[in-house]
Structure 1
C-alpha cells in the first residue's frame, strides 16, 4: 500500500503570485499563503498564523497569475514537496512547498477581477444568490490557457 500526501488549506495570499516562464514555455507561479487559527488560553483569544509556500504549474499558474492577488481568500488542495537547492554561498538548503493541484477562489467574483476589469458584474436574482457569489474552481488537469473563470 502506498502513502497519502494531501494538503487542504484555506487562507489569504501574502503577496501577488510571482510568475516565471521556464524553458519550453512552462509557467510556474508561487506565493505565500497565510492560514490562521484562534484558540483560548487563560481566558484570552490567541491567534496563530502559519505561512505556506504555494507553487502552481502550467495552466493553473496562468489562471493564478491573472486572478489571484495579495489578500484574496482561496481554498487550495495539493501535496507537500520538499526540495533542496544551494544558496549563494554554496550551502545546501531545504524548503517544503505545497504543490497545488486545484484551487477555488472564495468570495465575490468581483473580488477576483484582474486589473483590466475582466469579469462581469451581475445583479442578484430574486433568490438572493448571484452567480458572482459562487466559488470559481480550477484544477491542474482542466486548466487550459484559454480558461477564464467567469
Structure 2
C-alpha cells in the first residue's frame, strides 16, 4: 500500500499548478491562421492618415461533404518593401499569418451591440501562389 501512497501528487505540484493559473496575461492574444486570401490586399488610410493594408483569409474545416469556411479580416501596418510585397499578393494565395487578436465591442447603426475580432498582422509567410492567368485574376464579381 505504501507504494501507491508515494504516487499521489504532492502539495508542491498543486501549488505549482495554482501559481501557473494566476500568472498575468499577455497584453494581446495571439492567433495563427493558414488559409487563402479572399481578395487582393487593399491599401486604405486610417482616420489619422496612416496607411494600413487590409485583407481577408479564408480557412475551411470539417468533412469533405460539409466543409465550413471561416473568414478572418487582417490589418497590416507594413511599410516599404514589405508593404509592396504584401500588395503584390493575389486572391487565392495560400498564406500563414500570425497576429495579435483583440475583440472589439461596438454599437451598430441600428443600436444593436456587435462584437468583432480585430487581427493585426505580426508575421506573414506565402506558402503558395494561385495557379491562374491574368484574365481569371481580374474577372469581375
Whether TM exceeds 0.5 here: the answer is yes
Name the SS for the 1:106 alignment partner: strand
Moved more, 24-33 or 60-69: 60-69
Within the candidate set 97, 105, 108, 1:76 is matched to 97
Deviation of 1:28 after TM superposition, in Å, equals 0.7
Give ranges in structure 1 of 5+ residues lacking alignment: 112-150
Q: Provide the aligned length of Structure 1 versus Structure 2.
A: 106
TM-score normalised by structure 2 residue count: 0.59
C-alpha separation in 2, matches of 1:17 and 1:55: 10
List gaps (5 residues or longer) in structure 2.
Answer: 1-22, 132-141
Give the C-alpha shift of residue 18 in structure 1.
2.2
Q: Residue 128 of structure 2: SS of its match in structure 1?
A: coil
Q: Which stretch shifts more, 45-54 or 85-94?
A: 85-94
Alignment of structure 1 residues 1-150 onto 2, 5 Å: 1-4=23-26, 5-22=29-46, 26-39=50-63, 45-59=65-79, 62-63=83-84, 65-89=86-110, 93-107=114-128
Deviation at 1:26, TM superposition (A): 2.5
Deviation at 1:22, TM superposition (A): 3.5
Q: Report how far residue 87 of structure 1 moved.
A: 3.9
Secondary structure of the residue aligned to 2:71 is strand
1:26/1:58 contact within 8 Å kept: no
Structure (1/2) with the larger helix percentage: 2
Q: Deviations over 1:40-98 (max 9, x none)?
A: xxxx7432211111111142872455222211110000121122445445655431122
In the alignment, the residues of structure 2 paired with residue 24 and residue 14 of structure 1 have an alpha-carbon distance, to the nearest angstrom, of 27
CA RMSD after TM alignment:
2.9
In the superposition, the TM-score normalised over structure 1's length comes to: 0.56
Q: Which has the larger radius of gyration?
A: 2
CA contact (8 A) 2:42 2:87 kept: no
